[in-house]
Amino acid sequence: MDDNNETYSDLLRRAAKQLSNAGIEGGLRDARRLMENAGGVSAAELIAAENDVVSTETLNVFEEFIERRAKGEPVSRIAKKREFWGLEFDISPDVLDPRPDTETLVEVVISQWQEHYKSVLDLGTGSGCILLSILHEKRQALGIGLDQSEAALEIAKINSKKLELDGRTQFNTSNWFETVKGKTYDVIVSNPPYIPSADIEHLDVDVKEYDPMSALDGGKDGYDDYRHIISNAKNYLAASGLIAFEVGIGQADKIAEMLAKVGFLHINIRKDLSGVKRCVYATAPRV
């Protein structure tokens, strides 16, 4: 028998106040999403049930979720899900939490897509959100996602199956191009680690404490992985193919220079919704 007599509305108000006192902005919004996950209900169902008494089981799960959020853990990490490109992706501690800024990279690929493009290579695929979002839009394309983390690839495979894209995707354990030697692709896309090593300790808690370090640390100056990818990419990009990167704040011009030095053409920079130069893209160099 349940001893709890609090309604959903009671709990949401109490949780919002707790989060506000902990310095969390948007406490009610976060509380609602966590309640949806704790109770296994949709947003509409939660609205309809606001005056219903919450079961003790749901109450216990919800209170644990709120405690975690109050300590700075992102809602997406607690819920183990993140919406990206209008799609729902599973996430885990083994993958980078997809952010809205990264949707700019998907936008670039979609806007630059040529009719003859049929294949996409995603380097450092993580949850698979970039590759799968592109394939969701481009129904005739096939994609391969590479990552050095087998645990990350398991999440990508789950997402691929959930989105019914598993028939057009393949995920391989690989250190960048290691397992695709001798093959070429129409599109190469990557959101590699780009935080300078010394800057990681100054990142927000929700990043440095909850995103995998392997997805953040870009070496001493933040450009280690860009150097490796750019110096090798021309061997894997088909004629007139597209290469596109997400980049960190202040890195776009340097990445553009690196692409120009090895002969890439039509180099462009795209800003995100905040006006930050977020993506650099180019077409295959002359052979």
What pLDDT does residue 64 have? 98
Superfamily classification of domain 8-79: Ubiquitin-associated (UBA) domain (1.10.8.10)
Q: How far apart are CA 279 and CA 229, in angstroms?
A: 15
Q: How far apart are CA 190 and CA 146, in angstroms?
A: 10
Higher pLDDT, 125 or 1: 125
Q: Which H or E element spans position 255?
A: helix 252-261
What pLDDT does residue 99 have? 94
Phi, psi of 192 (to 5 degrees): -80, 170
pLDDT in tens, 135-187: 999 999 999 999 999 999 999 999 999 999 999 999 999 999 999 999 999 99
What pLDDT does residue 285 have? 76
Q: Give me the residue spans of the domains in the chain.
A: 8-79, 92-283
Strand partners, 7: 53
The reply to whether domains 8-79 and 92-283 share a CATH topology is no
What pLDDT does residue 1 have? 43
Lowest mean pLDDT among 164-173, 201-210, 234-243: 201-210
pLDDT in tens, 52-63: 999 999 999 999
CATH for the stretch 92-283:
3.40.50.150
3-class DSSP assignment, residue 279 = strand
Percent of all residues in the chain with a pLDDT value above 90, rounded to a whole number: 96
